[in-house]
Chains A and B, each alone.
Chain A
Amino acid sequence: MSVFKTAIVLVALAGFAFVAFLFWPRFPTVAVDADFRVTDRAVIARGGYITAAAGCVSCHWDKEGGGTPFAGGRRIASPFGDFISPNITPDQATGIGAWTPSDFLRLMQHGYLPSGQPTFPSFPWGHYRHISQNDALAIYAYLMSLAPVSQAQRGNELPFPLSARPAQLVWRWLFMPASVDVTDRGAYLVHALGHCGACHTPRNALGGRQSDRLLEGVTDQSGKVLVPGLTASTGLGNWSADELDDFLTDGFKPNYDTVEGEMALVIEHGTSRLTAADRAALVAYLKSLP
């Protein structure tokens, strides 16, 4: 065999090995607390609160199509194609009823589905991985306490090769932002649960969040603001803490115009349900951003 032919065979083998590497299912190690009980009422109640703060229902509910909360089916448009949110009620066949607590943690903390395949970044696990294990399991207990809804998952409408889940691993390797410090309660509510940056942090051409421009908002090429920034210099500078707290409670801006678009859902299902202390912490954190 000539050197040339050997080289071709080696390159082909390397390519095959790389694809196999990407397709190989992954099951990162997670450790569920030994005393976790999915039916614990106190845990379920806390989970309801955490689930609201995490804004799950805004995406996992096809409200306009007359769907059931948490049963998914909502179309989420992106520049890369349309995602259809999955059913996260505990239905065995069409929901997450068959998921174990470990399955759930693997998704929340590492972004892998029970099949071992990576989730798409439309599921904001890059934020959710900052959620404490206690809180993540509380969300699981809450979701498992819901009435199961049988609603089959419609497929995402993505072009190839983006539709191939293994391609996500390459994307992750290139674009997954570094972790952020969420020891402050407000930072935890903003970055971990609220995943505000999913919309309010600008992204690069391939959809990667620009972590050096955290919460600075999104503008188009002409400079028109598409998503307002949440830092003082990019959007909230003229808002007092009081005005921001009011806005996140009742949806009225400082000029008493009503909130619109996705943020209306965030307020209705999320921030308006926070305790006054949590909302104040969230506001204080946002107001601390320069």
Chain B
Amino acid sequence: MDLLTTLEAGVKMVILFGGLMGAAAYLVLVERWVAAWIQDRLGPNRAGIPLTKIRLFGLGQPIADGGKFIFKEEFTPGHVEKVLYFLAPVVSLTAAVAVFAVVPFGEVEIFGYRLRLAVAPGVDVGLLYLVAVSGLGVLGVLLGGWASNNKYSLFGGIRSAAQLLSYEIPLGLALLGIVLAAGSLRLEEIVLWQAQTGLWNIFWQPLGFSLFFLAAFAEAGRLPFDMAEAEQELVGGYHTEYSGMKLMMYMVAEYLHMILASFLLVLVFFGGWHFWGLSGGEPAVAWPTALLRVLILLGKVLVVIWFFMVARWSWPRFRFDQIMHLAWYVLIPIGLVYVVGAAVLAEYGPDWAARLGLSLPLFMAAANWTIFLVVWVAAACLVPAHYDNRPLRGPIRPQAPAPETIP
């Protein structure tokens, strides 16, 4: 690795890190706005430029919040396990940031030099790295819960670990189907493949999309899957004992998870930087088109993030056993069916399409939509709905006596 490459990576890292921190700060503001509007309020609209009357719709709020966090007292309770307690938020944040190394923003050609807009461009195991490192975030949560030496924290950590580990499986299975179809683990290739055909994965992979969407929600720990820090039940979950900057590191890591989930959804299912009529399928382009592509990508990501925020207020939280039930009884079997279906279609699809006289994309879309509908209806009919968490047998749960025997 020569000096130029190192320098290039360094500059990209600084830009990406700064961008992510800024994005996390401003997304907190956006989330508060969306929450307020949904609750028929106006939301934060006061903080502007300090010492003036200029308000700027409250855009100064994140800076004020950041300043507040820096100057807040950072209290360390006496009963915690010191080393792990300090290490846990760092692990969480590091894992959340490191994942973005392989997220591609496209390619640009300047003065004959092909600049790939990703910190670690062309990683052959891009998707594997992504899934593995984002799974590392669980470690931070679990360590924090354990090191806090507190019942609520421990429960939050355990719940979170169980949930995240369970949902890694359907997440991986959904990605596996896409990887089988695209024939590459590189995110750049997957985006390029969608751009060249002009057919985003969501249009012909509905089952993979639904699986990935649900699992991504759970991975990001957002409502309706926010068991790890269900405030109404667990005080604050794993970060009950944290304050000041350490709490902020957890919060930022959580937001980065959401941003990552949105990026993944856009890159893998919504065609990345591709948009019909605006950017075509050629890999490297001049800077105006490259800029347009980045803007398209960020726009799509913002739409997905906005959906995350609205979804938070739309549906009630699942109970913990329901979350586990959903993962192990519904999503994982569906994921297995999906992977087998994707493998069969990848192997025999071209043959069958030729025999039926259909074009390949049309045949694939029809087959996948059929599988999707069949699996969805089957899951709805066959899997018993799980809304009663009382014990199923034993003396605790007798048969209800007939009404006339009750005096």
Interaction A to B: no
